[in-house]
Structure 1
Amino acid sequence: MNTLLSINTRNTVLLKMAILLERERKAIIAINKTDLDAYKGDDISMFDRLKVDDAKVDEMIKAVTHLASQEDPVGVERFSFKHENGMQVYNKTASFGTVLIIYESRPDVTVEAAGIAFKSGNKILLKGGKESLRSNLKIVELWHEALKEENASTDWVEYLQFNRTETQAFLENPTQKVDLIVPRGGERLIAFVKEHATCPVIISGRGNNFVYVHEEADLDIAIDVIMNGKSKISACNAVDKVLIDENLPNKNEFVKTLISKLKDFKIEVLGDDIVSKDNGLETIKSDDIWYEEFLDYKILIGEIASNQDTIAMINKYSGGHSSSIITTNDAEAKLFMENVDTAAVYHNASTRFTDGGQLGLGGELAISTDKLHQRGPIGLQHLVTNKWYVHGNGQIR
């Protein structure tokens, strides 16, 4: 087991990593181009996540630099109690030990997620997708260089070059102790990890996010929020479903405006029976599509009778990620926000803010749709467990 590195060493490694990413910027982008050229799939959101350009490298540098500036999440006192027998009891945060991150496509995860795990005192095992192998190995090489410069073991960041069969074997019977697994990717990956893992898994679930345009909505805000929700189709915080209150004044005019704006951006618009009939859209074949996360230039618009019906619909179909109500009525917003069962709920704002950096956490390891441990973006301060420290001078019970 690796002995916990001092906070000073952890921060210095992170800052060194920032310098190395800048130094190797051109090399990383060139190596990433070989990954992009080799990618033969037709998944546009996968391709988007695979790509590393200057802006992506800037983000990586910003992530590690910001992590180095944050407080140490390990050893933070959460509770203290003085026992009547004189013992002093503390509960403090502690690192998990070893965190395995399994992810598809995104080389920036090799920096950001590894950085969060490392700063919180954990050893990291990285299992990236084959499509980003060359990019990932280059970045891991930089981690090792940064660790060596601080005389820290390169074991702190390890890359697992496993195929699917080897990954399954490792999950079922790990060759080293693993304390926590974080899968970042589509539903198939998450289901695969859940099925085979023998230790706790943080579920970074699907998006399939809803916007509800309430009858008292500001229609300009509604348009802006929906359009912004479709501005990055590969993101798990993108909007896939729009529900429009049947009592919305100027409803037909609003829907026509919305559809034409979406079509200007080459977004395919589907409708439920009412919306498709009134607007000449393709109608949905089955209600099952309400469950679907699109990750595509596609959106579904439906009509709904009330806030209560909207809450029930979102709780049935959404991925438990994000939802937004557009309304000028604060009481209706409160009803929606308290009763919709998603990790993040918005009032007059875009679901695209469900992101560690945007919600003030710095970076994020994943966005959890689980309710245990931590829900929503998992930042540095959440990648810890806790431990009881009890100081005595011979007390026995």
Structure 2
Amino acid sequence: MINEETLYDLGTAAKKAAKELAQLPSQAKNRALNTMAQALRTKLADILAANQKDIAKTHDSGRPESFIERMTLTEERVESMAAGLEKVAQLADPIGSSHKSWINEDGLEISQRTVPLGVIGIIYESRPNVTADAVGLCFKSGNAVILRGGKETINSNLAILNVLKSALRKSGITEDAVAYIDNPDRQLAQKFMQMNDYVDCLIPRGSQGLIQNVVKQATIPTIETGVGNDHLYVHKDADLDKALAILINGKTQRVSVCNALETLLVDQAIAKDFLPRVAEQLADYNVLVHADQAALTYFPDGQLAKPQDYAQEFLDYEIAIKVVADYDEAINHIDQYSTQHTEVIVTENYSVAQDFINAIDAAVVNVNASSRFSDGEKFGFGGEIGISTQKLHARGPMGLDALTSYKYVVLGSGQIRQ
């Protein structure tokens, strides 16, 4: 088990591995990624057995079912992890590419070349698929990665990690490219967050509490991945069939993820036509409704919404609903409560849709499409390292490009500055 002394050894090894990965040819990286994918399939039984140990222990601790769902692996989810690695292998390698070049007045050829960040630290909670996604994206972008997952999924994460490390060995690549902190001690985690000499970037994924804890304690530059208090605004010119389908998909298709819907806003002009249909559909999924006074009429089993309900990321079969007078009230509500993750409007009015796109400050803005599409895999990134809600360096679903920086290369023929 990692302790304070070996933590720094881990950092030293990762830093050395990052130098090797930065110069690794694309073909070698792609072969290794495909080997990792096949290894996950081969070791499926071992991974699922490890996951069952974690689930049994978590059940005994009294965690809610939504939490259990988030940490559960199935054959389909492991296959999705493997397929994600293969998709990453098929993507263009961003490392070494030049985005722009020019010749200045002194005859110098100047270019901007993409380079890896170096060593990336990722702190996450209860979703073991993050282990494979993070390794794949960091590896393809030439970065070493140090992972620290939640204690609830320690067996699952280590099982996945060991499979990926064995694939690296088989591919002739240093297994120090991937490391895992298997000690749940919080003081050790704080040490990790302050390893500026070893780790170039820190990315937290999980609850608001975890993310804010990392942001406040870390001295390493941190990319803040956001909590998803995601809104669906059904405008008076909406196609109500589309709106209902988008609502049910966004709220119930998978409740425990950050791109699930948490608040529904409905224009007053269509409330009487739309909300009875909403009530019928949500009842089929046993969704608990927190509604304002105007909406509560349509939800006999609902609860009167409190202000904090509109700020809540439920991650469960719960939703907050509010009837708004018009577009302006909807925008004001979103501005007040948004976590700047994903916001959705359903409308057939082109001008209103464009106004919404321009007015909303969020990493992802959807028009007539489910919030569940706010996802790196669905964006064609082969997975994601997280969804950034900040504005510096990266925003939205973070794929390969978000895990890179750049350097300027200047080619001359003996010029000196006068």
User: Do these two structures clear the TM 0.5 threshold for a shared fold by scoring above it?
Assistant: yes
Once the two structures are TM-superposed, the CA of residue 281 in structure 1 deviates from its matched residue by 4.9
Once the two structures are TM-superposed, the CA of residue 278 in structure 1 deviates from its matched residue by 5.4
Q: In structure 2, how many angstroms separate the alpha carbons of the residues matched to 1:279 and 1:160? A: 47
Structure 2 counterpart of 1:273, from 293, 300, 318:
293
Q: In structure 1, how many angstroms separate the alpha carbons of the residues matched to 2:332 and 2:225? A: 23
* 1:353–1:175 distance in 2 versus 1, CA, 3 Å: closer
Quote the residue 1:100 is aligned against: 121
Q: In structure 1, how many angstroms separate the alpha carbons of the residues matched to 2:291 and 2:150? A: 35
CA contact (8 A) 2:131 2:157 kept: yes
CA contact (8 A) 1:98 1:179 kept: yes
Quote the residue 1:286 is aligned against: 306
What do residues 33-86 of structure 1 show as CA deviations (whole Å, max 9, x unaligned)? Answer: 111111124233321121111001110110111111111111111111112222
Letter in 1 for 2:269: N
Once the two structures are TM-superposed, the CA of residue 210 in structure 1 deviates from its matched residue by 0.8
Q: In structure 1, how many angstroms separate the alpha carbons of the residues matched to 2:169 and 2:125? A: 28
Q: In structure 2, how many angstroms separate the alpha carbons of the residues matched to 1:10 and 1:65? A: 11
RMSD value over aligned CA atoms? Answer: 1.5
Structure 2 counterpart of 1:262, from 260, 269, 282:
282
SS of 1:244's equivalent? strand
Show structure 1 runs of 5+ residues with no match: none
Using the size of structure 1 for normalisation, the TM-score is 0.96
Once the two structures are TM-superposed, the CA of residue 180 in structure 1 deviates from its matched residue by 0.6
1:141-156 alignment, distance < 5 Å: 141-156=162-177
Quote the residue 1:188 is aligned against: 209
Structure 2 counterpart of 1:46, from 57, 67, 71:
67
1:127-206 alignment, distance < 5 Å: 127-162=148-183, 163-172=185-194, 174=195, 177-206=198-227
SS of 1:137's equivalent? helix
Structure 2 counterpart of 1:58, from 66, 72, 79:
79
Quote the residue 1:239 is aligned against: 261
Once the two structures are TM-superposed, the CA of residue 273 in structure 1 deviates from its matched residue by 1.8
CA contact (8 A) 2:291 2:305 kept: no
CA contact (8 A) 2:276 2:298 kept: no
SS of 2:164's equivalent? helix
CA contact (8 A) 1:183 1:189 kept: yes
Once the two structures are TM-superposed, the CA of residue 100 in structure 1 deviates from its matched residue by 0.4
Matched, 1:34 2:53: yes
* 1:285–1:300 distance in 2 versus 1, CA, 3 Å: closer
Letter in 1 for 2:249: N
CA contact (8 A) 2:193 2:202 kept: no
Judge which range, 203-212 or 138-147, deviates more: 138-147
Using the size of structure 2 for normalisation, the TM-score is 0.91
What do residues 178-224 of structure 1 show as CA deviations (whole Å, max 9, x unaligned)? Answer: 11111110001101111111121111111111111111111111111
Letter in 2 for 1:26: A
Q: In structure 2, how many angstroms separate the alpha carbons of the residues matched to 1:316 and 1:216? A: 24
Structure 2 counterpart of 1:381, from 377, 392, 401:
401
Q: In structure 1, how many angstroms separate the alpha carbons of the residues matched to 2:54 and 2:241? A: 42
Q: In structure 1, how many angstroms separate the alpha carbons of the residues matched to 2:169 and 2:254? A: 38
What do residues 293-342 of structure 1 show as CA deviations (whole Å, max 9, x unaligned)? Answer: 11111111111011122111101101111111111111111111110111
Letter in 2 for 1:259: A
Structure 2 counterpart of 1:335, from 343, 355, 365:
355
Q: In structure 2, how many angstroms separate the alpha carbons of the residues matched to 1:105 and 1:58? A: 19
Q: In structure 2, how many angstroms separate the alpha carbons of the residues matched to 1:161 and 1:212? A: 43
Matched, 1:78 2:89: no
Once the two structures are TM-superposed, the CA of residue 176 in structure 1 deviates from its matched residue by 5.1
Structure 2 counterpart of 1:355, from 372, 375, 378:
375
Structure 1 runs (4+) greater than 3 angstroms displaced: 277-285
Judge which range, 278-287 or 328-337, deviates more: 278-287
**Matched pairs, number:** 394
* 1:305–1:11 distance in 2 versus 1, CA, 3 Å: same
Q: In structure 2, how many angstroms separate the alpha carbons of the residues matched to 1:286 and 1:57? A: 40
Q: In structure 1, how many angstroms separate the alpha carbons of the residues matched to 2:302 and 2:287? A: 13
Show structure 2 runs of 5+ residues with no match: 1-15
Q: In structure 2, how many angstroms separate the alpha carbons of the residues matched to 1:346 and 1:285? A: 25
Letter in 1 for 2:259: N
Percent sequence identity over aligned pairs: 37
SS of 1:195's equivalent? helix
Structure 2 counterpart of 1:8, from 15, 18, 27:
27
Matched, 1:217 2:238: yes
Q: In structure 2, how many angstroms separate the alpha carbons of the residues matched to 1:356 and 1:72? A: 16
CA contact (8 A) 2:85 2:382 kept: no
Q: In structure 1, how many angstroms separate the alpha carbons of the residues matched to 2:69 and 2:299? A: 32
CA contact (8 A) 2:289 2:299 kept: no
Once the two structures are TM-superposed, the CA of residue 275 in structure 1 deviates from its matched residue by 1.3
